[in-house]
């Protein structure tokens, strides 16, 4: 299996993630555009793709076909442009896709724990609203990420998470804390009026799933990463 597809993938919208079987799109911090473009071709996508630099922040940038291929200083992208893909590269953090079918606006974000605590989910929602979207119209796909089973955190991070989001689901097993990032993101969406039936959540844990990359499982800077991308296309 080279690709994971999402429920959003229908008619004129493409939404997918690559897998380890497809090969890495980023290794040793270097983006492999050859593999990224190969993924687009295999998904029968024409045109450009734009990705954020991904600095574990909360900044979102609205882009178009004239934008640079890598947008510096941001972790999320939004566009109204047709025939333009948006992508993020992850290996444990959460790739999140937004789509408003009424306005035909797409967005994508890289959400690690730092970005989540800074409010990247809320920023993405706010950006959509500025472009005329109503929260009830936003459809969300949450891609594979490290699961609550494996995401061990320090007591310091646990305290920061609960200080920011009292509802953050953090379990204690023996002397360790494990944070359910996906459950936290789901609750953030709910509290921001995103319709729960519009939210798709991948159950796959990157640490436990052999055909996905995991930074934590690899234990070094040479881990691979997979691409999650979305685009609205016209024939």
**What is the per-residue pLDDT for 107?**
98
* pLDDT (average), residues 17-24: 96
Structural domains of the chain, count:
1
Q: Percent of the chain having pLDDT more than 90? A: 91
214 inside domain: yes
CA distance 97 to 6: 10
What pLDDT shows up at residue 46? 83
- Alpha carbons 135 and 43: distance in angstroms, whole number: 29
- At residue 142, the pLDDT reads 98
28 part of a folded domain: yes
Three-state DSSP at 44 gives: coil
Q: Which domain holds residue 118?
A: 3-145+203-232
Decide if pLDDT at 220 tops 90.
Answer: no
Answer yes or no: is 158 within a domain: no
Domain holding 17: CATH number? 3.60.140.10
User: What does the pLDDT average to over 22-35?
Assistant: 93
Domain presence at residue 223: yes
Compare 45 and 50 and report the one with higher pLDDT: 50
Rounded to whole angstroms, the Cα distance separating 224 from 235 reads 33
Provide the pLDDT for residue 179. Answer: 98
Q: What is the mean pLDDT of residues 16-45?
A: 94
Q: How confident is the model at residue 40 (pLDDT cuts 50, 70, 90)?
A: very high
Give me the percent of the chain exceeding a pLDDT of 70: 99
**Is residue 38 situated within a structural domain?**
yes
* DSSP classification of residue 110: E
């Amino acid at each position: 299996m080279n690709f994971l597809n999402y429920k959003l993938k229908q008619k004129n919208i493409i939404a997918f993630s690559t897998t380890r079987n497809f090969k890495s799109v980023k290794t040793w911090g270097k983006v492999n555009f050859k593999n990224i473009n190969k993924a687009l071709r295999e998904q029968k996508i024409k045109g450009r793709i734009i990705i954020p630099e991904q600095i574990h922040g909360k900044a979102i940038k609205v882009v178009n076909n004239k934008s640079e291929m890598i947008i510096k200083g941001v972790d999320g992208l939004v566009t109204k442009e047709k025939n333009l893909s948006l992508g993020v590269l992850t290996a444990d953090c959460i790739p999140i896709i937004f789509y408003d079918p009424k306005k035909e606006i797409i967005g994508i974000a890289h959400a690690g724990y730092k970005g989540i605590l800074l409010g990247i989910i809320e920023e993405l929602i706010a950006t959509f609203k500025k472009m005329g979207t109503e929260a009830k119209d936003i459809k969300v796909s949450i891609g594979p990420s490290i699961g609550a089973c494996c995401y061990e955190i320090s007591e310091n991070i646990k305290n920061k998470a609960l200080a920011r989001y009292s509802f953050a689901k953090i379990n204690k097993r023996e002397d360790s804390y494990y944070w359910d990032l996906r459950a936290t993101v789901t609750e953030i969406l709910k509290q921001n009026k995103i319709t729960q039936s519009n939210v798709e959540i991948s159950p796959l844990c990157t640490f436990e799933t052999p055909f996905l990359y995991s930074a934590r499982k690899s234990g070094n800077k040479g881990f691979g990463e997979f691409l999650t991308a979305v685009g609205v296309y016209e024939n």
